[in-house]
C-alpha cells in the first residue's frame, strides 16, 4: 500500500460515500451524544439528589446503579440494553435498536454525570453552608441559592468533557448499526473492503468533532471565569 | 470567541438538518442494481401472520451489504436479503430486517430478540448444539468454493497444502474458513495458523501489510475483495470442502420448531424451483463483482435464457 494509492482510495471513497460519513454518520453521532448528555444531565441530577438524600433505600439503589454502570464495559451494557430490555419492556421489541441504544447511553451518562455533580457539590467549601445556616437560611434555601450556584461552576466544565467522551463512546453502538460514524465505517468497509482508508476518514471526522467541541467548551469556560 | 462558538453551532445545525433529508440515487446508465431490484420487487413482504424479524450483518458483500442510494430497510441488499423476503412471502409475514454485527446476530436469536438470523452462517457442530438450524440453502460459489488469497506477486504459485509450509495463513474467527484451515493445516506444524481476525476487512489489511502471507476466504468474498484491490489475487489453492459445509443455514432459537418447519418447507420449495442461482448472480452484479453481461442478464435485469 503506497501513500499515493491510499490517498486516491480516500478521495474515491469520499466521492461516492460522502453522504454516509458527513450526513448520516456525523448527524447520528451528534444526535445520540446530545440526547445522551441532556438525558444524562437530567437523570444524573436526580441520581445525585437521591444519593444525598437521607433515605437509605434510594442511596443504596443509586450507589448500586452507578457502581455497575461504571464498573462494566459500555459494549456489554449495549448488548444487555438491546437484548434484555425488550424482555422487560415489550414495547421496545417492536422499535428499532436505536431506542434501546439511546436508553443505555442515557443511563450510562447519568451514572457518570451524577458523580460529576456529587463531586461538584462536595468541592464547595463546607464553610459556605455553615455560614448560610448561621445567618438563618434553611437547609433547602442555603443549598439552592448558596451552594449550587458555586457547584455549577465546577460541574459545567466536567459536563463538557463528558459530552466529548460520549461522542467517542457512541461508536460502540455501531454493533447494532444505528447509523453513527462507526456504522458508516462498517457499511463502507463492507462494500469496499478498504479498511484503513475508511478508518482514516472516520478518525479525522471524530477528531474534528471533538476538537471543535473542546475548543468551544474552552472558550465558554474562559467566559464563565471572566464573569465570576 | 463568539465566532468560534457560532461556527461550531452552525456546523452542528447544518449536519443535523442535512441528516434529516437528502439522498439522491446515483443513476448510472448501466444499473448494477437492475437484476437485484427486479427480484426484490416480486416479493410480497407485508403478510398478515405477524412479523418476521431477521438479524443480519450487512458488512459481507455480496451476501448482505448496504446500498447508500436507498432508504430504510431497502438499503440492506444482497442474497440473504432476497432469501429473507422470499421467506416472509412464503410464511405470509411482514418482514423486518435488523442489522447488527455478526456476533450480535447469534445473541439476538438466542435471546429471542429476532425470529431468525440469515447472515451467511455455515453449519457447524457447535451451532447445531445451541440453535435450531434450518435446512441448507445454496449461496452459489460463495460457499461451495473456499479459496486462499494472497498478494498478486504470489498468485498461482501455491496450489497444494505442502506449498504453504513456512508461511502464515489468516482467517476470520468463528467462520467456516477457521474450520477448514484447522482441518487442512492443523497437523502441519510448519504452517502458522495463529492469525485470527475479527472481520474480513481487518484481515485484508493484515494481508496488504504483509503481517500474514495468505487469507482463507469464501470464493465470493475473495472476488469482492479483488474488485476493490487489484494487488490481491487467488493463490490457485481451493480447500476440499465437505458437503456439509458447502451451504448456508438460517439460525433459529433453540426449541422454535414451529417456525423451523415452515422455513424448511419454504427452503425446499426454493431449492426445487432453482431460485438460488438467479438471486446469487443478481447480488454479485450488485456488489460489483461481476457485470450483467458476464452472468447473462439484459440491461433491464432480465435473465437471458436460451
Q: Is B122 helix (H, G, I), strand (E, B) or coil?
A: strand
Give how far A112 is from chain B: nearest CA, Å. 24
The secondary element (H helix, E strand) that includes residue B112 is none
pLDDT at position B72:
80
For the beta carbon of residue A183, count every other beta carbon within 10 angstroms. Answer: 27
Scanning the structure block, which residue is given the C-alpha cell 451476501? B63
Q: Tell which A residues from 123 to 182 touch B, by Cβ distance under 8 Å.
A: 174-177
Q: Kindly report the CA angle at B255 between B254 and B260, in degrees rounded to 5?
A: 90
Q: What is the pLDDT of residue A83?
A: 92
Backbone phi, psi, residue A176, to 5°: -110, 20
User: CA-to-CA distance for B31 and B147, rounded, in angstroms?
Assistant: 29
pLDDT in tens, A126-172: 999 999 999 999 999 999 999 999 998 889 889 999 999 999 999 99
Instruction: Give the SS3 label for residue A211.
Output: helix
Interface residues on B facing A, Cβ-Cβ cutoff 8 A: 1, 4-5, 8, 11-12, 15-16, 18-20, 22-23, 26, 51, 58-61, 65-66, 68, 98-101, 103-104, 107-108, 111-113, 200-202, 204-205, 208-209, 224-225, 228-229, 287
The predicted pLDDT at position B19 comes to 42
A75, A30 contact by CB (below 8 A): no
Query: At B9, is the pLDDT very low, low, confident or very high (cuts 50, 70, 90)?
Result: low
Give SS3 for B134.
Answer: coil
For residue B16, pLDDT beyond 50: no
Exposure of B103 by Cβ count < 10 A (0-12 exposed, 13-18 middle, 19+ buried)? Answer: middle
- Region A173-195: mean pLDDT is 90
Could you tell me how far CA B271 lies from the centroid of its own chain? 19
The mean pLDDT value of chain A amounts to: 92
How far does B279 lie from chain A, in Å, by closest CA?
18
| CATH no. of A3-226 | 1.10.3720.10
Nearby residues of B54 by Cβ (< 8 Å), 6 or more positions away: B84, B87, B95, B96, B97, B98, B114, B115, B116, B117, B118
Question: pLDDT tens across B134-176, in order?
Answer: 998 876 666 778 999 999 998 888 988 999 999 999 998 878 8
CB-based contact A50:A119 (threshold 8 Å)? no
Q: Sign of dihedral through CA atoms B279, B172, B192, B235? A: positive
* Residues of chain B found within 8 Å of residue A222, distances taken between Cβ atoms: 1
Return the percentage of chain B with pLDDT > 90, whole number.
Answer: 45
Let me know: does B39 contact B82? Beta carbons within 8 Å. yes
Pairing of strands B116-122, B51-56: parallel
Residue B255 is placed in which grid cell? 426449541
Highest-confidence segment of A20-34, B187-201, B230-244: A20-34
DSSP 8-state symbol, B157: S
Q: What is the dihedral of CA A149, A151, A152, A155, to 10 degrees?
A: 180
- Say how many C-beta atoms besides its own lie within 10 A of residue A133's C-beta: 14
- Using a CB-CB cut-off of 8 Å, the residues of chain B touching A219 are 1, 4-5
Beta bridge partners of B121: B249
The residues, any chain, with a CB within 8 Å of residue B155's CB and separated by 6 or more, are B233, B234, B235, B236
The pTM of this model reads 0.80
- Residue A163 corresponds to which cell in the numbers above? 459530552
Q: Let me know the angle formed at the C-alpha of B107 by A35 and A171, rounded to the nearest 5 degrees.
A: 35
> How confident is residue A190, by pLDDT bands cut at 50, 70 and 90?
confident
| Residue indicated by cell numbers 504470489 | B154
Task: Spell out the domains of chain B, with CATH numbers in brackets.
Answer: 30-141+246-286 (3.40.190.10), 146-240 (3.40.190.10)
CA B170, B176, B178, B183 dihedral sign is negative
Beta-bridge partner residues of B65:
B77
Residue B12, pLDDT above cutoff 80: no
Using a CB–CB cutoff of 8 Å, tell me whether A10 touches chain B: no
Across A36-45, A90-99, B234-243, B286-295, the highest mean pLDDT is recorded for A36-45
CA distances from A66 to A43, A50, A70, A112, A163 (A): 12, 12, 6, 7, 18
Residue ranges of the domains in chain A? 3-226
Q: Single out the residue of B103, B98, B68 nearest to residue B81, CA to CA.
A: B98
Task: Choose among A20, A53, A11, A49: nearest CA to B69.
Answer: A20
Q: Which is it for strands B132-133 and B65-66: parallel, antiparallel or unpaired?
A: unpaired
- Select from A20, A27, A226 the residue whose CB has the most chain B CBs within 10 Å, as the one to mutate to test that interface: A27
Chain B: residue whose CA lies nearest to A6: B229
Residues 66-125 of A with CB under 8 A from B: 79, 82-84, 86-87, 93-94, 97
pLDDT confidence tier of residue A65, bands split at 50, 70 and 90: very high
Residue B120: the pLDDT is: 87
**pLDDT of res. B11:** 54
**Bridge partners of residue B218, in order along the sequence:** B146
Helix (H, G, I), strand (E, B) or coil at B4: helix
Amino acid at each position: 500500500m503506497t501513500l499515493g494509492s491510499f490517498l486516491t482510495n480516500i478521495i474515491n471513497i469520499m466521492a461516492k460515500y460522502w453522504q454516509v460519513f458527513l450526513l448520516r454518520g456525523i448527524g447520528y453521532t451528534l444526535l445520540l451524544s446530545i440526547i445522551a448528555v441532556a438525558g444524562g444531565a437530567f437523570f444524573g441530577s436526580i441520581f445525585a439528589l437521591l444519593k444525598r438524600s437521607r433515605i437509605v433505600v434510594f442511596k443504596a439503589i443509586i450507589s448500586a446503579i452507578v457502581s455497575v454502570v461504571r464498573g462494566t464495559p459500555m459494549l456489554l451494557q449495549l448488548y444487555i440494553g438491546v437484548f434484555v430490555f425488550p424482555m422487560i419492556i415489550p414495547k421496545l421489541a417492536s422499535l428499532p435498536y436505536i431506542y434501546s441504544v439511546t436508553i443505555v447511553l442515557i443511563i450510562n451518562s447519568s451514572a457518570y454525570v451524577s458523580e460529576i455533580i456529587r463531586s461538584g457539590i462536595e468541592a464547595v467549601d463546607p464553610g459556605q453552608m455553615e455560614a448560610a445556616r448561621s445567618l438563618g437560611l434553611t437547609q433547602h434555601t442555603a443549598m439552592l441559592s448558596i451552594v449550587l450556584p458555586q457547584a455549577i461552576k465546577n460541574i459545567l466544565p466536567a459536563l463538557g468533557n463528558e459530552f466529548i467522551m460520549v461522542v467517542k463512546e457512541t461508536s460502540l453502538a455501531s454493533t447494532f448499526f444505528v447509523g453513527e460514524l462507526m456504522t458508516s465505517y462498517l457499511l463502507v468497509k463492507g462494500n469496499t473492503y478498504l479498511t484503513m482508508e475508511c478508518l482514516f476518514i472516520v478518525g479525522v471526522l471524530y477528531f474534528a468533532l471533538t476538537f471543535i467541541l473542546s475548543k468551544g467548551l474552552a472558550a465558554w469556560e474562559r467566559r464563565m471565569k471572566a464573569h465570576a | 470567541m463568539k465566532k468560534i462558538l457560532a461556527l461550531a453551532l452552525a456546523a452542528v445545525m447544518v449536519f443535523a438538518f442535512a441528516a434529516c433529508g437528502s439522498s439522491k440515487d446515483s443513476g448510472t446508465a448501466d444499473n448494477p442494481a437492475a437484476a437485484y431490484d427486479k427480484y426484490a420487487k416480486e416479493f410480497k413482504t407485508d403478510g398478515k401472520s405477524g412479523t418476521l424479524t431477521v438479524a443480519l450483518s450487512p458488512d459481507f458483500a455480496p451476501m448482505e451489504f448496504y446500498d447508500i442510494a436507498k432508504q430504510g430497510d431497502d438499503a440492506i441488499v444482497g442474497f440473504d436479503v432476497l432469501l429473507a423476503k422470499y421467506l416472509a412471502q412464503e410464511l405470509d409475514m411482514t418482514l423486518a430486517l435488523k442489522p447488527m454485527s455478526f456476533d450480535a446476530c447469534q445473541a439476538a436469536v438466542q435471546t429471542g430478540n429476532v425470529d431468525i438470523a440469515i447472515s451467511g452462517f455455515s453449519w457447524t457442530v457447535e451451532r447445531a448444539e445451541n440453535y435450531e438450524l434450518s435446512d441448507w440453502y445454496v449461496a452459489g460459489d460463495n460457499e461451495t468454493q473456499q479459496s486462499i488469497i494472497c498478494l498478486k506477486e504470489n498468485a498461482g504459485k501455491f496450489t497444494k497444502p505442502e506449498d504453504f509450509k513456512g508461511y502464515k495463513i489468516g482467517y476470520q474467527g468463528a467462520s467456516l474458513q477457521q474450520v477448514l484451515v484447522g482441518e487442512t493445516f492443523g497437523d502441519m506444524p510448519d504452517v502458522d495458523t495463529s492469525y485470527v481476525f475479527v472481520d474480513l476487512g481487518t484481515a485484508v489489511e493484515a494481508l496488504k501489510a504483509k503481517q500474514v502471507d495468505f487469507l482463507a476466504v469464501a470464493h465470493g468474498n475473495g472476488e469482492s475483495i479483488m474488485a476493490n484491490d487489484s494487488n490481491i489475487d487467488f493463490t490457485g489453492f481451493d480447500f476440499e470442502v465437505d458437503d456439509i459445509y458447502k451451504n448456508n443455514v438460517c439460525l433459529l432459537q433453540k426449541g422454535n420448531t414451529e417456525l423451523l418447519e415452515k422455513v424448511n418447507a419454504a427452503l425446499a420449495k426454493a431449492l426445487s424451483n432453482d431460485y438460488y442461482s438467479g438471486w446469487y448472480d443478481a447480488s454479485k452484479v450488485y456488489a460489483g463483482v461481476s457485470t450483467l453481461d458476464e452472468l447473462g442478464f439484459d440491461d433491464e435485469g432480465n435473465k437471458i435464457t436460451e
